[in-house]
Structure 1
Amino acid sequence: SSIHASRCVHVIYFVFFHLLQNPNFIIEGERACIVDWESYLVSRSFPAASNPRTKRILSRVFTFPLSIAKALEDLYLKDEKKYDYIMRERTDPIVVSVVGARAEGLLPLIVWRELAYCFPDNRFEVVVSGPDVRKDLHGTSVQEERDKLVRVHYFHGNFEDMREEIETSLSPDLYAVFNSGIGHNDEIYTGWKHAMACMLGSGKPTLLTCFDEQDLKDDQAGIERLCIEEMSDKSLEYVVGPSKNIFGSCFGDVSVDKLGVRMIFSNSHRMICESSSK
């Protein structure tokens, strides 16, 4: 929602101007520790890394690149041979396609650059697409000139309509869908089903995150419904099963929905899905 996006922008400004300008953050050649939030912030030399307030504020924006980084690491640990591209040095970048972007579509490049600290031997192309991406950014990209480790591309519109345009030159190694709510109700399911079928049907791993445990159960049911209705020729596999995301946001929002009034946390839970032919 616009309120959610606006709150995220204010948090980003706080982080950017009060924390991210600290020169001690540049740790060339060292791989950040992606075990949990405190270990990560300490390994990145953030000031007051053990302070709960620091963790809440930074996790609000860093949850997006860190959830991706943890997913990539877990894929590699699951099957080193199949996902060896994640850890080995390679000349071509790792491509991550963030589909249906909302708040994450507002993140500045310096936030996405955390991926480079998690995998210093790799370069990244981050593709951010969705109807909530700013129209004036469509078809543009941004990249730091200093070392060119991370480039972010923007596409405005529905993923299923732009897929060919995007993936002709940016074929993804991983899809990421943050807090889709595909299992929340029929309206949201219908809005997501074509894009989700494209991703899950590709055979590439797809990271799906949710606001809480109930949201996770609903989305799992939504994904399994999708496979029956739209992908009957495919078998769905949970490469990483539905579980708590250690890099979920620690900054809560109040939600009013069918479950009543509750606190929700962006990317609190996750699953990584992949399909194969039957």
Structure 2
Amino acid sequence: MALSADIAARLALSRLCTRCSISAGRQSRVPNGFLQASQQQQRRSFSAKSPPPTQLQRLPQSALRSSRSSISNRFSSSAAQSSFSASAPPSDTPKRVLGADDLFHSYTDSPIPEIRQRAAFIKQHASCPHHHHQPGGDMAPAHVNFECPDCGIPVYCSKEHWADDYEAHLEICDTLRQINEDDHDLRSGRFFPEFEYAGTQMEEALINMTNWDTFLYTRDFNAINADRSMRQATRLLTYPITIASILHELSPYNIKPGGRLTAEGIKSMSALRYTLHPPKTGGGMDVKGLRMEAPPVRLFILGARAESSLPREVWVQLAHLFPNSRIHLIFIGPESMTNRDDEFPLPPRTATNPFGAVVEDRVWPTMKISTIVDYYHTLHKAGHFYPYDPYFDCFVMFHPGLGHPASSHEWEETIPMLLETKAPIIVTGYTQADMERDIDWVNKTAAGEFDVLMEPGENRFRSLRWDLNDMDPQDVSAGNWGVWAFRGKRYETTRKATE
């Protein structure tokens, strides 16, 4: 059963598509890549009862069947995970398909049916990058059909064009081969110890957020000694840890030279860090020990896609990193419930739930998750989350495509409203070019109306695994590669000197 949940988590993440395919996915409202061809078949063919991997791995084999239902209820995302399980075997014990030394296969001739479907999709939609097919060339555009024998991915229309452009292809060939082997690894049927997550953190044990290695070690994760296992683990954890690395009091980002926080940034982050790390109140369990509690910190994940259906144990890492505060994750976006209809049929819109929010209030004692299938500007106009407080509110946008021509129009109305709240806005990008395009768009759209809180740069906790754009195999990127932050400009009161 561990295989089912692991593959499901990967497929959920694969819907966070790269720069070009993400926009195509938004236009068609279906997942990108090979999932387009198999989405409906997957949702009909596989059960929505697969429990999360980390719990099952701790149970004896005889207890798997009896405990499956209770685990599924405890972690409400398990049904969403299994709805993407494209090659999960029906039995409780997954069958090993590929060995550790047998992970490289041609996409077209792969032993995994799902990867063969992906190869077919790439051949139908990706164009040959040879200069003869480019504008001004002497040949009409053509789809890729030839697979490089070194990386196993369709990259050119013919062997001749591949050989003629071989030096250019060498620049990404090794990365494409790594992507190929990682894809086969996730479907190999092996046991995935890297998907067992650490539990609560001892107060005496401080975490070190210098990089992935120091973080996983000080958080008492299972030792990950293989690069491939590290890539698989960070592909999931990059979302909550990216947020935590900026908001935590032990954050590696500071106002020192090279720390990337600006003077305005330290003001905003200090406010949130003060709330997320409250002092001891002296409260107790009896009536005399009752104390006032601060409201939960609200983290608005705007434009949410696959991150809203990640295994809940991944997001609970935020609760472990901020054990003395309450956190309310709010996923907002028209695609935030994609492929989760079997798990959570959208509730009717009523007077008490005007936007049909799906609320999961049993994720963790100090964490609640809400999902709203709507645009943020609609909620803002209705005053649904009013009032906003920079001490308790933060906005996060994972790869929003602010400057992408196919998606920028969706943010034109939203950005001015976000600036009105004066709350921090954390933004990530797939690549440096993707991040710079978003920054240029914000500069043009809201010039003079925002302050930069965090200088743009590479994210310390980016995904170490590379992703392939199925619409363009030459385009590779990493989840949350870069990160920066801004907020609406605050105007300080000044006094005019009297003569």
Would you call these one fold, judging by a TM-score over 0.5? Answer: yes
Could you tell me the percent identity over the aligned residues? 18
* Deviations 1:210-255, CA, capped at 9 Å, x for gaps: 0011111111001111204xxxxx6311111111111111121112
Asked if structure 2 preserves the Cα contact closer than 8 Å seen for 1:242 and 1:271, the reply is: yes
Structure 1 distance, partners of 2:417, 2:375, is 12
1:16 offset after TM fit, Å?
A: 7.6
Give 1:27 shift. Answer: 3.5
Point out the structure with the larger strand share: 1
Q: Deviations over 1:136-192 (max 9, x none)?
A: 3541221336x512111110011111234641488661100010111122x311111
Structure 1 alignment gaps of length 5 or more? 229-233
Q: Work out whether residues 71 and 272 of structure 1, in 8 Å CA contact, stay in contact via their aligned partners in 2.
A: no
- Counterpart code for 1:87: H
SS of residue paired to 2:475 = strand
Q: Please state whether the residue corresponding to 1:157 is helix, strand or coil.
A: coil
Distance 1:271 1:102, change over 3 A: same
| Number of residue pairs matched by the alignment | 266
The Cα offsets for residues 187-219 of structure 1, whole Å up to 9 and x where unpaired, read as 311111212222133211000100011111111
2:463 pairs with 1:273? no
Question: What is the Cα deviation at residue 109 of structure 1?
Answer: 2.0
Letter paired with 2:335: D
Q: Which residue of 2 aligns with 1:188?
A: 407
From the superposition, tell whether residues 115 and 24 of structure 1 become closer, same or farther in structure 2 (CA, over 3 Å). Answer: closer
Root-mean-square deviation (Å): 3.2
The CA distance in 2 between the partners of 1:5 and 1:15, in whole Å, is 28
- State whether residues 469 and 475 of structure 2, in contact with CA within 8 Å, keep that contact through their aligned partners in structure 1: yes
SS of 2:365's equivalent in the other structure is: coil
Shift, 1:275, TM fit: 1.4
| Alignment TM-score, normalising by the size of structure 2 | 0.48
Contact 2:451 2:486 in 1 (8 A): yes
1:37 and 2:257 matched = no
Question: Does the aligned pair in 2 maintain the 1:34–1:118 contact within 8 Å?
Answer: no
Cα deviation for residue 46 of structure 1 reads: 2.0
Match of 2:398 among 172, 178, 195: 178
Structure with higher Rg: it is 2
State the alpha-carbon separation in 1 of the partners of residues 460 and 332 from structure 2.
25
* Equivalent position to 1:72, from 234, 244, 247: 247
Aligned residue among 353, 368, 378 for 1:151 = 368
Where does 1:55-134 land on structure 2 (aligned, <5 Å)?
Answer: 55-73=230-248, 78-79=266-267, 82-83=271-272, 84-89=274-279, 91-134=294-337
Name which of structure 1's ranges 159-168 and 90-99 shifts more when overlaid on structure 2: 159-168
Equivalents in 2 of 1:52, 1:199: separation in Å?
39
The 3 A distance-change label for structure 1 pair 176 and 101 is: same
Tell me the secondary structure at the aligned position of residue 49 of structure 1: coil
Are residues 1:206 and 2:425 paired?
Answer: yes
- Aligned residue for 1:217? 436
Q: TM-score, normalised by structure 1?
A: 0.82
Read off the aligned partner of 1:215 and give its amino acid letter. D
Contact kept in structure 1, 2:302 and 2:333, CA below 8 Å:
yes
CA contact (8 A) 2:195 2:233 kept: no
Cα deviations across residues 42-90 of structure 1 (Å, max 9, x unaligned)? 1222223343223211211111111111121358872375443233346
Contact between 1:31 and 1:120, CA under 8 Å: does it hold in 2? no
SS at structure 1 position matched to 2:238? helix
1:26 Cα deviation after fit:
4.1
Whether the aligned pair in 2 keeps the contact of 1:112 and 1:150 (CA below 8 Å) is no
Hey, what's the Cα distance between the residues in 2 that align with 1:176 and 1:35?
Answer: 21
* TM alignment of 1:232-243, pairs within 5 A: 235-243=449-457
Aligned AA (1:272)? A
